[in-house]
Structure 1
Amino acid sequence: MSVAILARVLHHERALPVVAVTLVSTLAWTYLLAGAGTMEEMDGMLMPMSTGPWTISHALVMLVMWAVMMVAMMLPSALPMLLLYATMARRHGATQRSGSGSDSGTAWAISLFGLGYVAVWSGFSLAAVALQYLLERAALLSAMMESTSIVLAGATLVAAGVYQWTPVKSACLAHCQSPLDFVLANWRTGSLGAFQMGLRHGAYCVGCCWALMLLLFVGGVMNLAWIAGLAVYVLVEKLAPAGHWISRATGVVFVAWGVATLLSPYLALNFA
């Protein structure tokens, strides 16, 4: 592909978000597959970092890991919103900056929208790291950052399942499923407006998916199959026409799973 053709493709307002999201998501998943900076060498082998005393550097590694993981899991589900925003921004000329062309202005606005979205999930990552610290101090997590407590795992599953049925979940999911409604109701002009819209959309996404993200402590924060499974589920829930009913059906499954987990010690004793 010639440079001229590539330039025309990248300048197209609908191609740019696809290329950007694909590139950033690929880099994020590559980082996770490489261990996300959480592996250390022990006896010639790479092992997960121990759950010993936390240092500032360890906390920063954990924060980067969570932030990158949220980008890998959540950014692809924001693509429909970014596509619509790019089209509307170019059409309404809301991205024009002094001395810049329409294509560069659109790219700038898309970047700011995406940064706003990522910033909100980075804030969630900070809260997740704080929770991880508290759970590790209470000796409730394994080296793979998976719950070692049946009560914690079961209660988290039940809580996530119940949340799937709440009005807050439904409202946030509706916003994520309706990019046009969101853009029309929250349109802001200029660079600051683009960033603010990204923040707002990110807030709705956190409101929709925060409980699902806490399930990482159930399946293992370092369990790539569990991470990928949750990421695929988020995509299906947001993009499928029946996403609202899928969300509620999944809630029932989570509650049943959680109750079964909580009762598993008693069932084991009775059937032993």
Structure 2
Amino acid sequence: MTGGPVTVRRRAGPAGLLLVVAVAAWVYLVTRWGGMQAMPGTMGLGLAAFLAVWTLMTAAMMLPATAPVAALYARTITVHRAPRMVVFTVAYLLVWAAAGLPAYGLAAGLGRAASLPAATGTAVAAAVFAVSGLYQLTPLKDRCLARCRSPIGLMLRYASYPRTSRDVCAGAHHGAFCLGCCWSLMVLLAAFGVMNLWAMVALTAVITAEKLAPAGYLVARVVGFASIALAVAVFWFPALAPGLTGGGTAGM
């Protein structure tokens, strides 16, 4: 009987594709930025370069947790599975690339705050931690996380999309829910340093746990309360926010 292994390969293929892309993104980021100190703001990058780095970051951090959804969506595709999954993945990443535009503006503004007196940078860091933590506890966060954790309903919705644009719409739609779920975690990089690779690893673990672990909702709340605690603690320990207080840390 050969049906079992073939089925396993079909299910594992799309997830494996996303994991390969994520690993490639991590390899590039570590090779290019590893060993460098966490830098404030846009790291001196122009808009185009920042968007390229931002998209690589989101691919590295988001795709591991998205792989199971991609595998589930792939099961609804009967022909041309590989190219259609590429379209789905590209559409998903384009949502995050578009989010890089406001992220660039935010990073530029916060970078200026880092050059102001230390008390100002600390206050801004506290605000970043507080906003992130409070959003983690909101119903909107729960709603977006629910779509990421239980995407069966989304699969039924995607099946109703026009065939010619289904993969683009499905990837973008899931990317939008993922953005709604995870922007509050990504914004923490403004405080930790945009290319603080240790922070990226930790946040990737949080994102993956929120979406895939049985206690994902609990993880989201724990991180929310922890972020609020950091909003208070940073006044006594400014080095908790090297991206805004100048306490640079090695990338990796």
TM range (shorter): 0.7 to 0.9
Measure the CA separation in 2 of the matches of 1:161 and 1:112: 34
Indicate yes or no: 2:113 matched with 1:113: no
CA-to-aligned-CA distance 1:193-225 (integer Å, 9 cap, x gap): 111010000000000010110000111112111
1:224 to 183, 197, 201: 197
- Report the AA paired with residue 193 of structure 1: R
- TM (norm. structure 1) is 0.76
- Report the AA paired with residue 97 of structure 2: S
Equivalent position SS for 1:124: helix
Indicate yes or no: 2:158 matched with 1:186: yes
Equivalent in the alignment of 1:72: 60
Equivalent in the alignment of 1:24: 21
Measure the CA separation in 1 of the matches of 2:43 and 2:68: 42
Q: How does 1:81-100 map to 2 (within 5 A)?
A: 81-90=69-78
Measure the CA separation in 2 of the matches of 1:113 and 1:184: 16
Q: How does 1:51-200 map to 2 (within 5 A)?
A: 58-90=46-78, 102=79, 105-136=80-111, 138-140=112-114, 149-187=121-159, 188-200=161-173
Moved more, 80-89 or 240-249: 240-249
Measure the CA separation in 2 of the matches of 1:165 and 1:52: 28
Q: Tell me how far 1:76 sits from its aligned partner.
A: 1.0
Identity %: 35
Equivalent in the alignment of 1:244: 217
Q: Is the 8 A contact 1:163 1:251 kept in 2?
A: yes
Larger Rg: 1
Q: Tell me how far 1:240 sits from its aligned partner.
A: 0.9
Measure the CA separation in 2 of the matches of 1:255 and 1:49: 23
Measure the CA separation in 1 of the matches of 2:76 and 2:138: 32
Q: Is the 8 A contact 2:126 2:231 kept in 1?
A: yes
- TM (norm. structure 2) is 0.81
Q: Tell me how far 1:78 sits from its aligned partner.
A: 0.6
- Report the AA paired with residue 95 of structure 2: V
CA-to-aligned-CA distance 1:141-186 (integer Å, 9 cap, x gap): 69xxxx9811111111111111011111010000000121221233
CA-to-aligned-CA distance 1:238-258 (integer Å, 9 cap, x gap): 101121122112211111221
Measure the CA separation in 1 of the matches of 2:97 and 2:123: 28
CA-to-aligned-CA distance 1:81-125 (integer Å, 9 cap, x gap): 1000001222xxxxxxxxxxx2xx111221111111101011112
Unpaired stretches in structure 2, ≥5 consecutive residues: 239-252
Equivalent position SS for 2:214: coil
Distance 1:241 1:206, change over 3 A: same
- Report the AA paired with residue 89 of structure 1: I
User: Over aligned residue pairs, what C-alpha RMSD do you find?
Assistant: 3.1
| Greater RCO, CA 8 A, separation 6+ | 2
Unpaired stretches in structure 1, ≥5 consecutive residues: 1-7, 40-44, 91-101, 266-272
Indicate yes or no: 2:182 matched with 1:209: yes
Measure the CA separation in 2 of the matches of 1:71 and 1:124: 13
Distance 1:240 1:141, change over 3 A: farther
Distance 1:236 1:15, change over 3 A: same
CA-to-aligned-CA distance 1:58-94 (integer Å, 9 cap, x gap): 332222111100110001111111000001222xxxx
Q: Is the 8 A contact 2:40 2:114 kept in 1?
A: no
